[in-house]
Each structure stands twice: as C-alpha cells, then as structure tokens.
C-alpha cells in the first residue's frame, strides 16, 4: 500500500539564511555531507535517516567554521504528497 502512495519531500541545505557554498574542496558543506552519506549506504536508506545523517554532519562542520547552518527536510505542500517515506536503494 505504501509503495502505491505519492511521497513528495524536499531536503535543502538550510533555511532562508545564506549557507556555506564552499568547504575548501569544491563542494559545499551540504554536498559533502550528502555524498558521504550516500556513498556509505549499503542498502535501503529512508529519507528521514538520510536527513538526520546529513544534518548532523553539516551542523558539526558549520560549527567548526563558525557558521550557523541547519539542513531542512519536509513534505512539499501542494504537490500531491499523500503518505509514506522516500526510500533510496543502493544498487
């Protein structure tokens, strides 16, 4: 049943404030965290777990750089979201 429902989520690098664009290696702090989590995934990764892992890494790195940055994860309003969770499968 869950696989037949529409899930519409958004994962962003931060809220409405500006965020770090470069962490010194050509990627943003957010992109680095996202890449690390995805590359470390060995099976099915729920969107909420992806968010928690990315958020934790971004906040730690941003604090090291003396910046306030906190990724956001939520359903997209007015897009047909019905129920369920976003799943990423490593193949």
Tens of pLDDT, residue by residue over 56-87, are 999 999 898 888 899 998 877 777 666 677 77
Calpha distance 22→13 (Å, rounded): 12
pTM of the model: 0.83
**Looking at residue 42, what is its pLDDT?**
86
Alpha carbon separation from 61 to 9, 33, 36, 47 (Å, rounded):
24, 9, 13, 21
pLDDT given for residue 1 in this prediction:
47
CATH of domain 2-89: 3.30.70
Domain residue ranges in the chain: 2-89
């Amino acid at each position: 049943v869950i696989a037949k429902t529409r899930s519409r989520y958004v994962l962003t690098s931060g809220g409405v404030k500006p965020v770090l664009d470069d962490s010194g290696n050509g990627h943003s702090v957010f992109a680095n965290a996202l890449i690390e989590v995805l590359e470390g995934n060995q099976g099915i990764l729920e969107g909420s777990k992806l968010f928690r892992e990315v958020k934790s890494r971004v906040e730690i790195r941003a604090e090291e750089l003396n910046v306030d940055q906190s990724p956001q994860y939520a359903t997209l309003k007015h897009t047909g979201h019905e129920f369920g969770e976003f799943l990423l499968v490593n193949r």
